[in-house]
Structure 1
């Protein structure tokens, strides 16, 4: 099959094999990349994005790809490249999940969890999570995500060359550290809302203790809702700025183990 396609495309068999292997890794990354791999994006658009990234990355890694052992089974090489691409994509996708987690924590803390809970993501989510996720993805795309992703994929071949086996122990340690870092980031981004909710409930308890006859919940519910919306207005630029910095750091070294 490779030989037939090489003749049609006027490429050598080895050259076409390199392009296919690069496409497998790039396609796995593009399937999870923010903005490019969203389920709301049509499949044809996602495929076109993966092909375009492949056309850019393949010439950049051609010298490294020339050292691939031709005797190794091609299907095995494709599996290895798909695994490497999934590692890169997961590293970036976890940051989007951290942003969604921050929105969910903020919503649960400030009684906004049941307001407009759908839309921007395939899974039901509170409005704050949808807003932060959509804003973060938009910010990443307009901040040259395609350029940074291309450089990250090309740089991954220095760490994981084509056909290099993925050490299971290293992948396990890397994955655990990435997941822990994503949860820590999500809670950090939601910290202003958690602190505000704690202060609100503390004040509400003190008022209820002083005036048991007063229905403080009827007074406090509108107050916490308005305060949460105001806090979201003030804190979201800082939240997204910090998140973008984490995204840039991840794209600069996606296979590095976070501390």
Structure 2
């Protein structure tokens, strides 16, 4: 009986260390995840979600952490797990930033940048950015965001193995490429608004050249704003559809896109 009690005590102690390391990676990712990590999400909800993800992920990677704990101390593994968690969270967060960039560019192109939305954070965003971000997060959750997060977290233990070394140069190269891709994707999504604004301003310049006495500013400003709203109504479903497809492809770590 005493031998069984000693085995249970040893298992509980090792299990506590493993669970805490898994929680560190998931907790760091939770701070940046879309929907789960938003500033308006209550801290209790974030903590509950992090614990729930930890309970799901920990049994899958239990053996890897037990081997890592035998060769390394808990303190040496802690830093690696936090960095890996932030990397996973940034990967998801950059897709939300792409929507914010698309909304900001579209608002500037259509003279709607002065219309600020309530936003889902502390920083004010143009109304178009807020609309796209909220709609994109809703679509991501409907598309199984929690499942994609679980898959990414489990597969991340193959990329960032417990006890492995994370090279600063590799992380810097990866971060630059992901940020560049996010801005490129955001500008691509805002392409229809930039093209429409270019054509409109060229036409407005031609009209002003032909009729100098016409106050084109009084006619052009309301027209471009109305046209921007109509264009948003027409293109928003396509923009969000493309964004969701790219979002699902980027978060598939097994495809090597990470």
Q: Shorter-normalised TM-score: what interval?
A: over 0.9
1:49 aligns with 2:49: yes
Mapped to 2, the partners of 1:251 and 1:71 lie a distance apart of: 31
Task: Name the CA shift for 1:249/1:240 in 2 (closer, same or farther; >3 Å).
Answer: same
Superposed, which structure 2 residues align to 1:1-259 within 5 Å? 11-253=11-253, 256=256
Mapped to 2, the partners of 1:126 and 1:254 lie a distance apart of: 35
SS at match of 2:114: coil
Structure 2 residue aligned with 1:4? none
Normalization by structure 2: what TM-score?
Answer: 0.92
Task: Name the CA shift for 1:249/1:164 in 2 (closer, same or farther; >3 Å).
Answer: same
- The CA deviation at 1:9 is 9.2
- The CA deviation at 1:225 is 0.9
Which deviations, in whole Å up to 9, do the C-alpha atoms of 1:112-164 show, x marking residues without a partner?
00113433332111100111111111111121100110011001111111121
Which deviations, in whole Å up to 9, do the C-alpha atoms of 1:161-213 show, x marking residues without a partner?
11211011111110110011011001001000000000110000000000000
Task: Name the CA shift for 1:172/1:117 in 2 (closer, same or farther; >3 Å).
Answer: same
8 A Cα contact 2:249 2:257, kept in partner: no
8 A Cα contact 1:174 1:257, kept in partner: no
- The CA deviation at 1:81 is 0.1
Task: Name the CA shift for 1:231/1:8 in 2 (closer, same or farther; >3 Å).
Answer: farther
SS at match of 1:68: helix
Unaligned runs of 5+ in 1: 1-6
Mapped to 1, the partners of 2:8 and 2:231 lie a distance apart of: 60
Q: Which moved more, 1:11-20 or 1:142-151?
A: 11-20
Runs of 4+ in 1 over 6 A off after TM superposition: 7-10
- The CA deviation at 1:245 is 1.2
SS at match of 1:39: coil
SS at match of 1:214: coil
Which deviations, in whole Å up to 9, do the C-alpha atoms of 1:4-58 show, x marking residues without a partner?
xxx9999532222111111011111111110000000011110100000000011
SS at match of 2:67: coil
Q: Which moved more, 1:60-69 or 1:26-35?
A: 60-69
Normalization by structure 1: what TM-score?
Answer: 0.92
**Once superposed, what is the RMSD of the aligned Cα atoms?**
1.9
Mapped to 1, the partners of 2:214 and 2:85 lie a distance apart of: 59
Mapped to 2, the partners of 1:148 and 1:223 lie a distance apart of: 42
8 A Cα contact 2:116 2:124, kept in partner: no
